[in-house]
Amino acid sequence: MTEQSPTHHFSSTPTAIRGATDVVGGATDVVGGATDVVEGATDVVEGATDVVGGATDVVEGATDVVEGATDVVGATDALGVANRLRPVLLRLNRSLRGEAHEQGVTSTQASLLAAINHSPGIGLGDLAARERMCAPTLVSHIDKLESAGLVERTRSDPSDRRRVGLCLTPKGVRLLKTVCERRTAWLATRLATLSPEALASIAAAIEPMQQLMQHEERQA
């Protein structure tokens, strides 16, 4: 028998390689296309994020405007000012009362001394109305001030011996002056710590507050 050489089919190999290359190339195109889609989707998401962020900025800006407007309204609204002013006045009054206590009188008694000094000879009834105090309470305070040598009762109207007027004694005048000076010094020391602008603002508020008290006195 004649030995035959084995047959090798090398002629089909290039074709197979080209086919595989085409498949790989196609797959690459698919992957590339998918990448483009993903990148496009990412751009859309980022764009949407920018829109949301911009809308958030608009909302926050609008909120700032509303809050600013609220602050302005609160600053000029009577109820808002009253809520802020009331505790300040109470604390201020509490501090000033201490200056009277150091002189041996209460803040109410110091107020009575000031009222009598402003209207020498004032009667008990008029004084009670001015200080908004009931008669028994007023008489109790006047008795203590008289016992301390600060106030004296006088009968300035000979035709009406029932009417009793009130006047300060020299001792009462000196004590009232001391209380006023100490209170003024206390205020001045604290006002001196403020800026010129803040001090000017307080000075500008004095006249309107005096108008409030005058209105209150007219209503009494």
What is the reported pLDDT for 174? 97
Residue 14 in this model has a pLDDT that exceeds 60: no
What is the reported pLDDT for 160? 66
Does 45 fall in a domain? no
- Please list, residue by residue across 183-211, b when 16 or more beta carbons sit within 10 angstroms of its beta carbon and e when fewer do: beeeeeeeeeeeeeeeeeeeeeeeeeeee
**What is the mean pLDDT of the segment spanning 137-145?**
96
Same domain, 213 and 162: yes
Same domain, 147 and 167: yes
More confident residue, 162 or 107: 107
**Domain span at residue 65?**
50-101
What is the reported pLDDT for 155? 79
What is the reported pLDDT for 203? 95
Q: CA-CA distances (angstroms) from residue 48 to 5, 34, 35, 52, 156?
A: 71, 21, 20, 6, 91
Residue 148 in this model has a pLDDT that exceeds 90: yes
Does 125 fall in a domain? yes
Does 210 fall in a domain? yes
What is the reported pLDDT for 163? 77
Q: Which of 73-77, 100-104, 161-165, 216-220 has the highest mean pLDDT?
A: 100-104
Does 23 fall in a domain? no
Residue 158 in this model has a pLDDT that exceeds 80: no
Mean pLDDT of the chain: 76
